Amino acid sequence: MDNSIIKITDLHFSYNGLKVLKGVTHSFEKNTLTAITGPSGKGKSTFLTTLNRLWEDVPGAALQGCVELKIAEKWRDVYASSMDIAALRRMVGMVFQIPNPLPMSIFRNMAFPLKLAGVKEKDQVQAKVQEALERAFLWDEVKDRLHSSALELSGGQQQRLCIARALILEPMVLLFDEPTSSLDYQAAGMIEDLLVSLKESCTVLMVSHYLDQVSRIADSRLELADGKLLLSNISR
């Protein structure tokens, strides 16, 4: 049985004429954690943004090929004109290298995606905020200061807040762009545990430079080299 959730076929990507991806073809299975490794500046982060169309905000970028997402057991072309980009980004969440909480309270950061999605019912918002913060192992640390600025949190807490914020929309796929590279060892460890736990509910793609981290938590590893994704071994 085909357990894939993302199917990429002959994907090409260029930035101001520079070819970054050259005919990438790959499928990602549901509820797995795939690590994408490779040298810096070779398009790993760009590859992630081709899955939620975030690259479209960058002037001078161009894409060719096909990216499909299995929604309700049907394959949908991510780049079809009928695809609602906002809805796509709710299904394919993304967490960045540098934690990026918005300059507002912890609660408002968490409620922000729900506000965008049109969820207004207060009790529902509060319940979802608590649930997402609990899933990100952050609830106990912030429950007494939900209305304090999110910028007052430590780096690791900010990153867990960003993960919780992405989780609140219950995405099918979560993209992580080097989520621990700006954190200390302890905070990185917490994020790793969190990433492993997320596999139960969604498919995780993670760009990482740390092969030891990949060997600890990833199910498979893809190496991006010369614009192509190659399946690589994980040494445990």
Taking CB under 8 A as the criterion, which residues in 90-109 touch another protein? 90, 93-94, 96, 98, 100-105, 108
Ramachandran area for residue 151 (φ above 0: left; ψ -120 to 50: alpha; else beta): alpha
Compute, in degrees rounded to 10, the torsion defined by CA atoms 94, 169, 221, 100.
Answer: 30
Near another protein in 35-64, by CB under 8 A: 52, 54, 57, 59
For another protein, the binding residue among 116, 127, 225, 230 (CB under 8 A) is 116
Nearer to another protein, 41 or 59 (CB): 59
24 forms part of the interface with another protein (CB under 8 A): no
| 162: contact with another protein by CB under 8 A | yes
- Which range of residues in 35-43, 62-70, 164-172, 209-217 is near another protein by CB under 8 A? 164-172
Binding residue for another protein (CB under 8 A) from 18, 39, 145, 147? 147
**Is the torsion defined by CA of 161, 162, 165, 166 positive or negative?**
negative
| DSSP notation for 188-223 | HHHHHHHHHHHTTTSEEEEE-S-HHHHHHH-SEEEE
Largest distance between two CA atoms of the chain: 51
145 is a contact residue toward another protein (CB under 8 A): no
Q: What are phi and psi of 73, to 5 degrees?
A: 65, 15
Helix ranges, 79-200 (H):
85-91, 106-116, 122-135, 139-142, 155-167, 185-198
Does 87 bind another protein (CB under 8 A)? Our answer is: yes
Residue 149 within binding range of another protein, rule CB under 8 A:
yes
> Which residues contact another protein (rule: CB under 8 A)?
52, 54, 57, 59, 85-90, 93-94, 96, 98, 100-105, 108, 112-113, 115-117, 147, 149, 162, 165-166, 169
